[in-house]
Chain A
């Protein structure tokens, strides 16, 4: 019987299978950041173990770094302590470290692809659930806990049972103003946040074929929000074109050897999935969330559903709307917003800033809106400047910050104040995710831009000719 893309990559990395237990899976790339690694390094030390493959391990500081005045010492002693711990651990174990201020610094899932660390057919992990991003290249990539970080540091393996397989097909053409973020939020709204738990997803069909690599990253990034371990897309010409010439991408004979493996990475026609779902591209509108999990999303022109029309507990649903201070049946369009956040590993890449610029060009930010524009990396920041986007932003009344996770998880000072309503291009709208008491509407960069200009939730299609 044929194999799926996932089978091919997984099976090639199984060191051994334990009967009625997990597989021992070899990990090719391990991304490390300051928040989920210190305890793992401590564990390593207390057991007297070494890092087995420092050359397969890559450290960057992103979760807890400031996004202004990065040249100054970090004020918060706890945050400074984490950054120092990462730096020291990297130095002690010979791990490459792109810390705060380093020219290659940025969000772990943005810099991985930028420098060719991410490649088709590799296994990749990081102590961050959005590691699924790298699946856009046909890699098996997923988030792990700190105990597993310690496992990978010390043995380059993790132990997990092989997940079930799901394929999600979206065919047809997307409407104007519908971005990869909308496709993902649409799928999550259909599946709920637990609909793909236990599965690894492959995305297939016209929509993903036609998508840019950055768009594919946005989609794979959000796989975890429907409960999936990860998501992946078979590599194609676009993938190979994207990775060619990057710092860690193989060259010459090594490239040819890699290509002969990469070209085998697709799902065989007779392969089967445990679950297969089909969606129509034309059904998808620009999306926005109205509740406190990413599954609570609707087409932006729709109104908030009634509790009795949604799956799951009515109490939980009402609690969620209560937190958001919304009511059943209300329209989303026209709701006054206070903040706009564009950034994160979901939508903090250059194409996201281009989309944002398309809308705000020649317009002005609404006075009452505070906007945080946070590039995913220095490379993205540089491109924003080189392409003249910064001038567009400045003229429209926006400022650009320095790279990092920022208000995606609000560990640093970038916290949305209690009660304030934010349109965010990040990935989670949980209670307090963007700061205690903050209220988040997840949306695409286009929706964020249109809303920033109007000061209320706005359908971006009214700005697109």
Chain B
């Protein structure tokens, strides 16, 4: 399904400075039973966010009213583990449009790009700067500028550029997805399939 266009996002951010956040934490397997893509945001970080009796864990950042925004800032190696796209859906459905980290696991990053969540990989130093800025002021605004490929701390103007290939960038800017692209070259795919090695 095509998704919202992404151009410039300016927002406060939610910090999660934990390394190796895996997709089983982002959305535990027992919440993967739906046959429709809806409601996954409620179970985002379920077991970090709620006790077993469903009462919220007050120390977890999503339960802390100080922090909010459309940007999630995660620790290194964010999204490792399972290929479940439900993890990216949960992030999106909760209201995040962008995840910033100093390093992403491959499949999660791909899944995000496929559903319109922008993964922004920054240097470890810049990630630390962002965490510090949010820690000292939870209302710190971050600008993620896709056309320019920059991420900027609004208060200080400190900025870093990020990489994204021009094909994916075009998709995000226009809200297109790969299925649209592939449907347009179906003839070419059929021709190709006639000469496969097996």
Contacts and interface: CB of A to CB of B under 8 A. Distances in A.
Interface string A415-428: 00010000000001
Interface string B55-92: 00000000000000000000111001111111010000
Given A154-B183, A410-B29, A411-B30, A38 B189 contact: no
Interface in B142-198: 165-168, 177-179, 181-183, 185-186, 188-189, 192-193, 196-198
Contact of B185 (A16, A64, A127): A16
Interface string A148-188: 10110011111111000000000000000000000000000
A82 B33 CA distance: 7
A49 B36 CA distance: 18
Contacts of A49: 179, 183
Given A43-B1, A121-B197, A147 B114 contact: yes
Contact of A431 (B47, B168, B181): B47
B40 to A, nearest CB: 10
Contacts, number: 201
Contact of B36 (A39, A143, A198, A418): A39
Interface string B17-38: 1111010110011101111110
A22 interface: yes
A166 to B, nearest CB: 13
What class of interface size applies to chain A in its complex with B? 35 or more
Interface stretch (A312-320, A325-333, A441-449): A312-320
A145 B107 contact: yes
Contacts of A12: 196-197
A430 B52 CA distance: 17
A16 B182 CA distance: 11
Given A12-B196, A432-B47, A36 B85 contact: yes
A410 B193 CA distance: 39
Interface string A122-164: 1000011100000000000001111110110011111111000
A261 B181 CA distance: 31
B135 interface: no
B20 A410 contact: no
A155 B182 contact: yes
Contacts of A20: 165-167
A128 B168 CA distance: 23
Interface residues of B, number: 58
A155 B25 contact: no
A418 B188 CA distance: 53
B51 to A, nearest CB: 10
A189 interface: no
A71 interface: no
Nearest to B77: A194
29 contacts: A12-B197, A15-B185, A15-B192, A16-B185, A18-B167, A28-B198, A35-B84, A36-B85, A39-B85, A49-B179, A49-B183, A52-B186, A64-B32, A64-B33, A121-B197, A129-B107, A156-B189, A158-B178, A159-B167, A227-B77, A229-B107, A293-B22, A312-B19, A410-B29, A410-B30, A411-B33, A433-B29, A436-B30, A436-B52
Given A146-B85, A146-B86, A432-B25, 10 more contacts: A13-B196, A21-B167, A22-B168, A24-B182, A144-B107, A193-B77, A194-B20, A227-B77, A313-B76, A411-B33
Interface of B: 1, 17-20, 22, 24-25, 28-30, 32-37, 47, 52, 75-77, 80-86, 88, 103-107, 110-111, 114-115, 165-168, 177-179, 181-183, 185-186, 188-189, 192-193, 196-198
Q: Give 4 nearest A-B pairs by CB, closest first.
A: A21-B167, A145-B85, A38-B35, A78-B33
